Structure 1
Amino acid sequence: MPLIRNSYGKGRVRVMRVQRDSARHEVRELSVQVMLTGDFDAAYTEGDNRHVIATDSIKNIVNIVARDHVEAENEVFAGAVAQYLLDRYSHVAGVEVSARETRWQRIAVDGVAHDHSFVLDGNGTPLVKLMATREGVRLASGVDGFTFLKTTQSGWENYWFDEATTLKPTADRLFATSMAAEWQWNGVPSSYAAANAAVLAAALKVFATTYSPGVQNTMYLMGEAALAAVPEVAEISLACPNKHYLPIDLSPFGRSFDGQVFTPTDEPHGQIACTVGRG
């Protein structure tokens, strides 16, 4: 039987980089996965491990590169890990690096961000995905579980009605989601961190300031705004599960609803996705 494809590597390599070359420290905590492709077929088909780089060695390489690139933005760090492996091992054809960031936010002391004290920033997990071969590199940044809400200026009307339809249309509902988004780079920004923040800021501005006739339209407009804000982004993919807030009927207790009391639920939820690119 033929071996169709294979890859292997090391997952959940957790590393914290602390840049402390001045009084103001920078922290970057990542969980990294590195997967290799190349001349490894014999390990699967023959039990011949001579070309297999131990996954423990891959973990060590992640840590070595972290020490050599303490100051690097996450996207640059991922590229450095891939390049280290391609440069060191001629039989490695491709390296896929995925990194999820545990984000820390500076503690504000008397309104001033502290130099070396932090609290966990809980909204969303920043991520980086890089695929490197000897021919080139594909790089994407993104965020997972980025959660936001608006309490009005959202509706859902004029959709398909048939015998299966029980949902009532409305021109005024809560809109909440926990978004997964990923944007592909076609250029190198002056700062990945600033560009990533600009992507999210542009998307959230659309979300907050425009009426939403449905998640689909709002996602598309958010994608358009992100591309307009950051020219180095080639395309952006968004996936938005619809986190529902269901009106609670308090009329048996002599209370009107008036759009004020809801039951939060996200199961089952609508799942909407789209990719917006440059024409």
Structure 2
Amino acid sequence: MSFFLGSNQYGKAGIRLVSVQRDGDRHLVTDFTVATALAGHLDDTHFTGDNSAVLPTDTQKNTVYAFAREFGVGEPEAFALRLAKHFVTTQEAIYHARVNIEQHTWERLAPHGEPAPHSFVRAGTETRRAEVIVTEDDVAVSSGLGDLTLLNTTNSEFHGFPRDKYTTLPETRERMLATSVEAWWDHDSADVDWGKSYAEARDALLTAFASTYSLSLQQTLFSMGSYVLHQCPSVDEIRLSLPNKHHHLVDLTPFGLDNPDQVYVAPTEPYGLIQGTVQRHQMVPTVGPQLW
């Protein structure tokens, strides 16, 4: 009986990189978690243990640190592009390189109202993400974010849904709407101002969430994705995953109290999960990382 090797890759995950750019007394901190994954002509290492085509994962890790020193870090998309192209162009056996980066944000402390030059606090904002895939013939760049928690205290309804014998949810014309956005969007070019593009996409997500009168979280998802495509010409497709972070009014009548939409309980589980893709052109194949 014969068996066959399917698709495979190998690399280094969880590479923690912190870079400090020292411009006189004013410092800039960049904090990445990097993952590399290489694929190519690697049958021999699987079949016979011949490692002559296997660039060690430790070398991949060292390359991340060396490139940070030699070329600087900059935007995560640009750093990932540099790494992925290096692995494909310098390793004869490798024809596919994927680099994922998560960026962790640090904000300057301002103890006396003035931003401190070299003191920081880890920000509780979202995680910025980037993924680059480089092959011998193509380059694909995706940007994204996660854990972007948003809340509208009004302008949200949910009604008109089908009911059966298991349905207990009441219809509502007024509810809290909260979610934690996970998103990836694909670019049609590798020649992009990555910092500006990320800021524009993030702002478009926030603007659409705040300005959409929501009759369903699905409607909000499509509005957010559409506005990113409208505001960001380099983006071809955006994939969104929006958990419905429920907020339920607490029944205070046992205590002789009313509750005019003021006191809520926010359970963490279970939760609704709304996911969808918004495309500039119908049936555009997805090249970037998937959310589901």
TM-score interval, normalised by the smaller of the two chains = over 0.9
Q: In 2 relative to 1, CA 103–186 (structure 1 residues): closer, same or farther, beyond 3 Å?
A: same
CA distance in 2, matches of 1:136, 1:118: 39
CA distance in 1, matches of 2:143, 2:25: 29
| Length-normalised TM-score, structure 1 | 0.95
Cα offset, 1:144, TM superposition: 1.0
Is contact 1:19-1:71 (8 Å) kept? no
Aligned-pair Cα RMSD in Å: 1.5
Per mean C-alpha deviation after superposition, the further-off stretch among 236-245 and 110-119 is 110-119
Other-structure match for 2:278: 276
Cα offset, 1:67, TM superposition: 1.3
| 1:31 paired to 2:33 | yes
**Aligned partner of 2:131: which letter?**
K
CA distance in 2, matches of 1:233, 1:30: 23
Cα offset, 1:216, TM superposition: 0.3
**Aligned partner of 1:131: which letter?**
I
Cα offset, 1:66, TM superposition: 1.4
| Length-normalised TM-score, structure 2 | 0.91
Other-structure match for 1:177: 179
Other-structure match for 1:122: 124
Q: Secondary structure at the match of 1:244?
A: coil
| 1:72 paired to 2:74 | yes
Task: Work out which of the residue numbers 254, 265, 270 in structure 2 matches 1:252.
Answer: 254
Cα offset, 1:110, TM superposition: 4.5
Q: Secondary structure at the match of 1:25?
A: strand
Is contact 2:155-2:174 (8 Å) kept? yes
| Structure 2 runs not aligned, ≥5 long | 282-292
**Aligned partner of 1:186: which letter?**
D
CA distance in 1, matches of 2:162, 2:231: 34
- Give deviations 1:124-157, integer Å, cap 9, x for gaps: 2111111111111111111111111111111111
Other-structure match for 2:59: 57
Please show how residues 201-220 of structure 1 align to structure 2 within 5 Å: 201-220=203-222
Other-structure match for 1:104: 106
Q: Secondary structure at the match of 1:223?
A: helix
Other-structure match for 2:286: none
Q: In 2 relative to 1, CA 136–3 (structure 1 residues): closer, same or farther, beyond 3 Å?
A: same
Q: In 2 relative to 1, CA 189–174 (structure 1 residues): closer, same or farther, beyond 3 Å?
A: farther
Other-structure match for 1:46: 48
Q: Secondary structure at the match of 2:110?
A: strand
Q: Percent identity?
A: 36
Aligned residue pairs total 279
Task: Work out which of the residue numbers 139, 142, 151 in structure 2 matches 1:140.
Answer: 142
Cα offset, 1:189, TM superposition: 6.5
Cα offset, 1:210, TM superposition: 2.5
Higher relative strand content: 1
